[in-house]
Amino acid sequence: MEALFESMDQVYGGLDQRLSPLMSEALCGPGCSLCCTGRGSIDINTLEGLRILRYMESLPQDMRVRMRKAVGEDKKKREQERKASCPFLRKNRTCAIYAIRPLVCRRLYSLEPCIEKGPVLHKEAVSLGVGARDELQRLDWNGYSGHISYVIHLFEEPGFRALYESGGFDPSRVMNYGRAHKLVIHRSLHGKK
C-alpha cells in the first residue's frame, strides 16, 4: 500500500504544480469553506479513504472518536438525502485533514466570490482535475469511488479492509453496500489497467 500512497502523492504533486499558476488568481484562503458546506458530494477513492482512516487511527482517542462520530453523522445525513458539511471541517472553518486532503479538495478553488453561484475555475483546471481523478482511479484499480463518508465506512464492511489492503478484488462482498451508496467500481470505468 505504501507504494500506492507514494504514487498517489506524485499525482497530487503533479496536479498541484500544474494548477499553481492558475490558482494564483483564486479568492480562496484559510477559513473559506463554502465548498465544504453541503454543496455536493465530496467524492474520494478507496486509496484516499484508507489514508484518511489510517490518519484517524493515529490520532489521540478523543480526536479519533470525534472524527468517527462526524463521519457517521455525515453518512446518516447523506443517506437521508440531507445536506451536510464535510465531516472534517472544523468549527473554525479549517480542514482537520488538510495535509492529506483528497483530490477533490485539492483541485477546487474559485476566481470569483462563490456564495451565489458556486466556484468558478479555469477550464484548464477542470480538465487537469478530471485527468488526475482518472489517473488515481487507475492507480486504485481494485477500488471504488464515492462520497467520503461512504468510502470510509466501506472499510467497516466485513473483510473488506483486509481484502483491499492485500490487493484483492471481490465486488460481490460489498455489492449491497456499494449499490445503496452509489459507489463506482474503478475497473468498470477504465477497462483494462
The helix/strand/coil state of 95 is strand
Give the chain's mean pLDDT.
Answer: 89
- The one-character DSSP state at 85 is B
Quick one: pLDDT at residue 120? 72
Q: How confident is the model at residue 130 (pLDDT cuts 50, 70, 90)?
A: very high
Asked if pLDDT for residue 183 goes beyond 60, the answer is yes
Who wins on pLDDT, 119 or 145? 145
- The one-character DSSP state at 166 is T
Who wins on pLDDT, 111 or 147? 147
E strands in 118-170? 144-147
Asked if pLDDT for residue 163 goes beyond 80, the answer is yes
Asked if pLDDT for residue 107 goes beyond 70, the answer is yes
Asked if pLDDT for residue 11 goes beyond 80, the answer is yes
| Percent of the chain residues topping a pLDDT of 70 | 96
What confidence tens digit (pLDDT) does each residue in 30-70 have? 777 778 886 678 999 999 999 999 999 999 999 999 999 99
Who wins on pLDDT, 5 or 193? 5
Q: What is the DSSP string of 9-60?
A: HHHHHHHHHHHHHHHTT----TT--GGGBSSS--EEEHHHHHHHHHHHHHS-
- Integer Rg of the chain from CA: 16
Asked if pLDDT for residue 188 goes beyond 80, the answer is yes
Asked if pLDDT for residue 119 goes beyond 80, the answer is no
Q: Are strands 43-45 and 184-185 parallel, antiparallel or unpaired?
A: unpaired
CB atoms within 10 A of CB 60: 8
List the domain boundaries for the chain.
Answer: 2-190
Quick one: pLDDT at residue 191? 64
- Find the range with the poorest average confidence among 27-31, 50-54, 132-136: 27-31
